[in-house]
Amino acid sequence: DAKTTQPTSMDCAEGRAANLPCNHSTISGNEYVYWYRQIHSQGPQYIIHGLKNNETNEMASLIITEDRKSSTLILPHATLRDTAVYYCIVREETSGSRLTFGEGTQLTVNP
């Protein structure tokens, strides 16, 4: 699986958009980009994934650059409950393939 690089920490004001970057310059053509988050002491929670196109769901938007070497997770209106560690993971979509977690980005949403 391709390695990812994320900032160690970020801050965001409540109600503003949180934009979390991820670099994955060695991503291959059949690897997806996944985002998970982990709120303190809880199990990681799936947020969103994408292959080439931008994606949006009820939680977030995922913007993938045209060359697929980087992506941005956008939380459009961050709340205090969005404070968590956010993990960007790239992997092939083989059957049941496991996730390789890096250190992630600690997002702190401030009142």
Q: Which residues bind another protein (CB under 8 A)?
A: 32, 34, 36, 41-46, 49, 87, 93, 95-104
| Smallest distance from another protein to CB 56, Å | 16
| Smallest distance from another protein to CB 71, Å | 16
Task: Report the distance separating Cα 37 and Cα 78, nearest Å.
Answer: 14
CA distances from 55 to 50, 51, 108 (A): 6, 9, 24
Three-class SS state of 3? coil
| Smallest distance from another protein to CB 62, Å | 14
Three-class SS state of 80? helix
For another protein, the closer of residues 40 and 66 by Cβ is 40
